[in-house]
Amino acid sequence: MNVSDALRGRFIVLGVTGSIAAYKSIELARRLTQAGATVQVVMSRSATEFVRPITFQALTYRPVEVEMFQIQDERAAGHVAMGREAEVIVVAPATAHVISRLANGMADDLIATTVLATSAPVVIAPAMETHMWQNPATQENIARLRARGVRVVDPESGPLASGDVGPGRLASLEKIEAAVVDALSSSAALAGRRVIVTAGPTVEAIDPVRFVSNRSSGKMGYAIAQAARDAGAEVTLVTGPTALRAPNGVRVIPVESAEDMQDAVLAVLPEMDAVVMAAAIADYRPLEVSHRKIKKRDAGSELTIRMTENPDVLKAIIAARRPKTIVVGFKAESGEATAEAERMLREKKVDLVIANDISDPSSVFGSDTDRVTFVSADGVEALPVLAKTEVARRLVAKLAERLAR
Ligand code: CTP
């Protein structure tokens, strides 16, 4: 898709903060507008010390917003409305100061508030003096933003306004524009596709009140369901009991046992383009389920529960799928996860395995982050520690790419 096709008719919020590089965002605003986008410029107070709002206004044909409470249409809670309306927010140049405020979720000016109020993708293009860029504080803030899914267009090396030479120069406008296009197009990457995601633990009954289960929180699966929905897919979420609220716009099928989960998945499998098996399905269930509550009186001082093997849902899916349906499995191990994932890829004939080592503190059950490795016929790709929402976004990008092949 060329740049104009990708940008025509899109609503872009361009945040400009107080760096000398602000003069370059004048050209960025012009380019985006010329390509057919509606560009709403929001300037920080200090940005107006470098360039004047009127310049942006003349090039974008729209009034520029500067400070909260001066916003043109506060009746509609302007800052929230803008965040909601935006299809992408790009902050260019982004100073060390705004990066720190965004990393901390502050809401002290219009740019920060708009970013906080949006569910649209966010692109930032940092520009600052080399030492400020390299300072661990800035690097930590950047890492936190990346982990939340913010796209960072890294600054380039070159002579800086301070007289130094080093990294810190605003990336080229081509690169920033490409990141904006990428952020916009990924939101339709799975348009027209049907995806089923399993999530959470299964619950295997012992008697009417007791069960055997596991510590799966469901966070990964729910994040994948949401990311797939955001990418335009029609999503079915088959979920064991969790404490999470299902994302809007997703069809939810609640289940309890591994057998329920298998029935639910196989029933809709023929329609599916992709199956993502994020659920922690119990490998065993009690051999006999007592229909009455087991009494201490009857069981005595020791109780033995015999377990029997559950169906391997993944195996059943592989056997029943259409050849075009992509199947993703998960492999959680205490150590050695990648080797196990490679074995699973070979033996179970899944298309992609997401491996994680649950002995790694960033990947323990229930956490919001994960350090995973994607293992497929394309090779082994170890990702850094990321928010589960970001892992989900990257998985969705992988699915989209494979489905497009
Ligand atoms: N899975 C499944 N059916 C089961 C158990 C697991 O479909 N009865 C799926 C999970 O959703 C996950 C993957 O299989 O995607 C996990 O693979 P598996 O080899 O079963 O992992 P473990 O059960 O962790 O492996 P192990 O054999 O070492 O117990």
d(CA 16, CA 29): 10
- 159: confidence class by pLDDT, cuts 50, 70, 90: confident
d(CA 183, CA 117): 17
Output the residue whose Cα is nearest ligand 1's atom 21. 331
SS3 call for 176: helix
Q: Of 283, 342, 346, which is best to mutate to test ligand 1, by the most ligand atoms within 8 angstroms of its C-beta?
A: 283
d(CA 113, CA 111): 5
Output the residue whose Cα is nearest ligand 1's atom 4. 312
Give one word for 9, left, alpha or beta, with left for phi > 0 and alpha for psi -120 to 50.
left
d(CA 324, CA 275): 11
CA of 293 to the centre of ligand 1 (A): 30
d(CA 171, CA 125): 7
Nearest to 403 by CA among 188, 125, 121: 188
Q: Please say if the pLDDT value at position 70 is more than 90.
A: no
Do residues 22 and 47 lie in contact, with contact meaning Cβ atoms separated by under 8 Å? yes
Ligand 1 atom nearest 353 alpha carbon: 15
Alpha carbon 155 to its chain centroid, in Å, reads 23
| Cβ-based neighbours of 372, under 8 Å, separated by 6 or more | 354, 355, 356, 363, 383, 386, 391
CATH code of the region 3-186: 3.40.50.1950
Counting residues of the chain whose pLDDT is more than 70, the rounded percentage is 96
Q: Report pLDDT for 371.
A: 92
CA of 151 to the centre of ligand 1 (A): 33
Peptide bond preceding 254 in cis form (omega within 30 of 0): no
Nearest to 249 by CA among 219, 277, 228: 228
- Convert 125-147 to b/e letters by CB count within 10 Å (16 or more is b): bbbbbbebbeeeebeebbbbbbb
For 233, the token pair is 């897919």
For 28, the token pair is 């960025």
In the 8-state DSSP scheme, what is residue 220?
H
What would the 3-class secondary structure string for 63-93 be? CCECCCCCCCCHHHCHHHHHHHHCCEEEEEE
- 120: confidence class by pLDDT, cuts 50, 70, 90: confident
Do residues 115 and 83 lie in contact, with contact meaning Cβ atoms separated by under 8 Å? yes
Q: Report pLDDT for 329.
A: 98
Q: Please say if the pLDDT value at position 122 is more than 70.
A: yes
Q: Report pLDDT for 188.
A: 78
Cα three-residue angle 290-295-298, rounded to 5 degrees: 95
Average pLDDT rounded to a whole number, residues 344-368: 89
Neighbouring CB atoms inside 10 A of 355's CB total 26
Q: What are the structural domain ranges in the chain?
A: 3-186, 194-404
Query: What positions carry a catalytic annotation?
Result: 214
Q: Please say if the pLDDT value at position 362 is more than 70.
A: yes
- Tokens 């490998």 belong to which residue? 283
For 297, the token pair is 């009186």
pLDDT in tens, 392-405: 999 999 999 999 88
Instruction: Output the average pLDDT for the chain.
Output: 92
Average pLDDT rounded to a whole number, residues 36-60: 96
Average pLDDT rounded to a whole number, residues 67-93: 73
Q: Report pLDDT for 249.
A: 80
Residue 348, classified by CB atoms within 10 Å of its CB into exposed (0-12), middle (13-18) or buried (19+), is middle
More confident residue, 141 or 365: 141
CA of 386 to the centre of ligand 1 (A): 23
Do residues 269 and 196 lie in contact, with contact meaning Cβ atoms separated by under 8 Å? yes
pLDDT in tens, 202-229: 999 999 999 999 999 999 999 999 899 8
Q: Please say if the pLDDT value at position 278 is more than 90.
A: yes
For 154, the token pair is 């890294």
Ligand 1 atom nearest 333 alpha carbon: 24
Q: Which CATH number fits domain 194-404: 3.20.20.140, 3.40.50.10300, 1.20.1440.230, 2.160.10.10?
A: 3.40.50.10300
Which amino acid is present at 122? V
d(CA 102, CA 105): 5
Q: Report pLDDT for 291.
A: 94
CA of 235 to the centre of ligand 1 (A): 22
Q: Report pLDDT for 363.
A: 80
Q: Is the pTM of this model over 0.75?
A: no
Q: Please say if the pLDDT value at position 23 is more than 90.
A: yes
Count the alpha carbons within 13 Å of 385 in the hemisphere toward its beta carbon. Answer: 12
Question: What residue ranges line ligand 1, CB within 6 angstroms?
Answer: 258, 277, 279, 281, 283, 310, 312-314, 329-332, 344
CA of 150 to the centre of ligand 1 (A): 32
- 68: confidence class by pLDDT, cuts 50, 70, 90: low
Is it true that 3-186 and 194-404 share their CATH fold? Answer: yes
d(CA 395, CA 189): 12
Counting residues of the chain whose pLDDT is more than 90, the rounded percentage is 76
Q: Report pLDDT for 339.
A: 93
Q: Of 330, 336, 374, which is best to mutate to test ligand 1, by the most ligand atoms within 8 angstroms of its C-beta?
A: 330
Q: Report pLDDT for 77.
A: 62
Q: Report pLDDT for 327.
A: 98
